[in-house]
Chains A and B, each alone.
Chain A
Amino acid sequence: MGIGPSTKETTLHHFRDPLLDVVSEDTDLDLMGILLVGTPDDQTDKMLVGTRCAVMAEGMRADGVILSSDGWGNSDVDFANTCEQLGIRGIPVTGLNFNSGPAHFVVENEYMDGIVDINKNEEGVETNVVGENNVVRLDCLKAKALLKLKMRQKDQKLGNKA
């Protein structure tokens, strides 16, 4: 059982993922695809695969990225690095992660100001209840709205009112 049963994304979750629905149905966005990346155990590998993600996003000329994470704690290292690698390449990024209370990010950086906390229980703890702290449609709408805002802010900064 997962990196926290309450956040684990089951095979059924991937089949009916609300994040895909929310992004693909938005006619203001051109969804390029879904990049699936692993969460290696080794620290050097964590940095490597997250950086490759950012390079791919850059090569694809992505205007923005929504990053989601299955699990918390150990996988926050990957999550934070991928945000940072996207950020330093000038690609706006928002995300979905379980990070309230004791599960607060174990590492952070300046590019993580658009992360939606997916916690659903009052204490903000890992409840070991399968599905409880899963991403729901509302979380995805928030992450999408935040990304649209960050992309607009970037355009305004560049004086390019798209």
Chain B
Amino acid sequence: MAEEVRDLRKLVIKAYHMQDVEWGAHNDITADGHMTVSKETLKKLTAGEEYIEDIDLRIIRPGRHDRWTNTIMDIIPISAKVLGKLGEGITHTVTGVYVMLTGIDVNGKQCHEFGSSEGILKDRLYLNRAGTPGDDDYIVSFDVTLAAGMGQERPGPTAAHRACDRFIQDYRMKLKKFRGDRCTERHEYHDIVRPGKKRVLIVKQVAGQGAMYDTRFFSHEPSGVEGGRSIIDMGNMPVLVTPNEYRDGIIHSMQ
């Protein structure tokens, strides 16, 4: 007797589209599509990190990419867990704006090792990929200046990612409270077992060589840093995750 298809668990991702991003008194976000960015927390974020000398924020409007950028360390979605743990329950995410983490040290050395992407942003960022913003998206640039030489040492990039994650956390706390029925998109994902079909495993080889070549899993929040574990610290050994855990942002790319 053939076994039936089994549904192991459900993940719902609700998206809230931002129509505009402006400077404001506080870091704030509303379910009807308005986001404000403030520099008020930067001093505290800088003071909390030994290897960070300065942080600057910029709002980059869609199409306004004819401007300088330091090397791009990451593009990060703003997502928050609302119900359940990563991989099940409900997640809220934001569309229309993504955070771009860039880094340099006080001596002007870019935070990179093998290949660097500093330059004019429109020449350095290929839009509309899965991992990059689209033509109509805002970018919030979180630009970190590290202590001398720390761009090439593991604690430097780690501190930059951690500070950026704390900045994003302000938005996550608001995003968690959005009413579910006000979302602009709703996606439902299921971890499915299909008995009798070809069993396929995806193996993703991620960075773990050291310095900025690091990857973090199992953070408390989707695409987060806090609470996560580094693949370097886990000896680069293979770790199995479910499809829903993966699509719920279980990886934070530290490169």
Contacts and interface: CB of A to CB of B under 8 A. Distances in A.
Are A and B physically bound partners?
Answer: yes
Given A1-B71, A2-B115, A12-B98, A38 B77 contact: no
A53 B126 contact: no
Given A3-B255, A33-B242, A49-B238, A66 B111 contact: no
A146 to B, nearest CB: 12
Q: Which of B110, B203, B217 has the most CB of A within 10 A?
A: B203
A12 B77 contact: yes
B25 interface: no
Interface string A114-134: 000000000000101111101
Given A15-B223, A75-B205, A132 B126 contact: yes
Interface stretch (B43-51, B55-63, B244-252): B244-252
Interface in A77-92: 78-79, 82
Contact of A35 (B111, B125, B204): B204
Contact of B199 (A2, A11, A49, A62): A62
Contacts of A113: none
B239 interface: yes
A11 B241 contact: no
Contact of A68 (B203, B209, B245): B203
Contacts, number: 291
Interface in A22-48: 23-24, 27-41, 45
In the complex, which range does the number of interface residues on chain B fall in?
A: 35 or more
Interface in B190-230: 192-210, 212-213, 215, 217, 222-223
B199 to A, nearest CB: 5
B205 A11 contact: no
In the complex, which range does the number of interface residues on chain A fall in?
A: 35 or more
A interface SS class: mixed
A33 B251 contact: no
B30 interface: no
B24 interface: no
Contact of B72 (A5, A40, A134): A5
A24 B247 CA distance: 11
Contact of B202 (A3, A6, A20): A20
B19 interface: no
Contact of A1 (B79, B98, B116, B132): B116
Contact of A19 (B113, B202, B231, B238): B202
B200 A147 contact: yes
Contact of B205 (A14, A37, A62, A134): A37
B75 interface: yes
Interface string A7-18: 011111111111
B108 interface: no
Contacts of A107: none
A108 interface: no
A57 interface: yes
Interface of A: 1-6, 8-20, 23-24, 27-41, 45, 49, 52-53, 56-57, 60-71, 73-75, 78-79, 82, 126, 128-132, 134-136, 147-148, 151, 162
Interface of B: 71-77, 79, 93, 98, 110-117, 119, 123-127, 129-132, 189, 192-210, 212-213, 215, 217, 222-223, 231-232, 234-243, 245-247, 249-253, 255
Given A31-B243, A70-B204, A130-B124, 17 more contacts: A2-B114, A3-B207, A9-B131, A11-B223, A13-B253, A14-B249, A32-B200, A33-B243, A35-B202, A36-B217, A36-B238, A41-B209, A61-B199, A66-B201, A67-B203, A131-B125, A135-B130
